[in-house]
Amino acid sequence: DTEVTQTPKHLVMGMTNKKSLKCEQHMGHRAMYWYKQKAKKPPELMFVYSYEKLSINESVPSRFSPECPNSSLLNLHLHALQPEDSALYLCASSQEGGIFAYEQYFGPGTRLTVT
Amino acid sequence: DAKTTQPPSMDCAEGRAANLPCNHSTISGNEYVYWYRQIHSQGPQYIIHGLKNNETNEMASLIITEDRKSSTLILPHATLRDTAVYYCIVRVANSNDYKLSFGAGTTVTVRA
Residues of B with CB under 8 A from a CB of A: 32, 34, 38, 41-46, 49, 85, 87, 89, 91, 93-105
Q: Are B71 and B31 a contacting pair, CB within 8 Å? A: no
| CB spacing of B32 vs A102 below 8 angstroms | yes
pLDDT of residue A102: 85
Please, is B80 exposed, middle or buried when counting C-beta atoms within 10 Å of its C-beta (0-12, 13-18, 19+)?
exposed
Please check the confidence at residue A94 and state whether its pLDDT lies above 90: yes
When pLDDT is cut at 50, 70 and 90, the band that residue B99 belongs to is confident
Instruction: Find which of A99, A111, A112 to mutate to test the B interface (most B CBs within 10 Å of its CB).
Output: A99
Q: How many CA within 13 A on the CB side of residue B13?
A: 2
CA distance linking residue B67 with residue B52, whole number of Å: 9
3-state secondary structure of A58: coil
| CB spacing of A107 vs B93 below 8 angstroms | no
Mean pLDDT value across residues A4-28: 96
Nearest-Cα distance to chain A for B69, in Å, is 19
Average pLDDT over all residues of chain A: 94
pLDDT of residue A113: 97
Structure confidence by residue, pLDDT tens digits, B16-60: 999 999 999 999 888 999 999 999 989 999 999 999 989 999 999
Structure confidence by residue, pLDDT tens digits, A21-53: 999 999 999 999 999 999 999 999 999 999 999
- Percent helix, strand and coil across chain A, each to the nearest 5: 5, 55, 35
Please check the confidence at residue B92 and state whether its pLDDT lies above 90: no
| CB spacing of A48 vs B45 below 8 angstroms | no
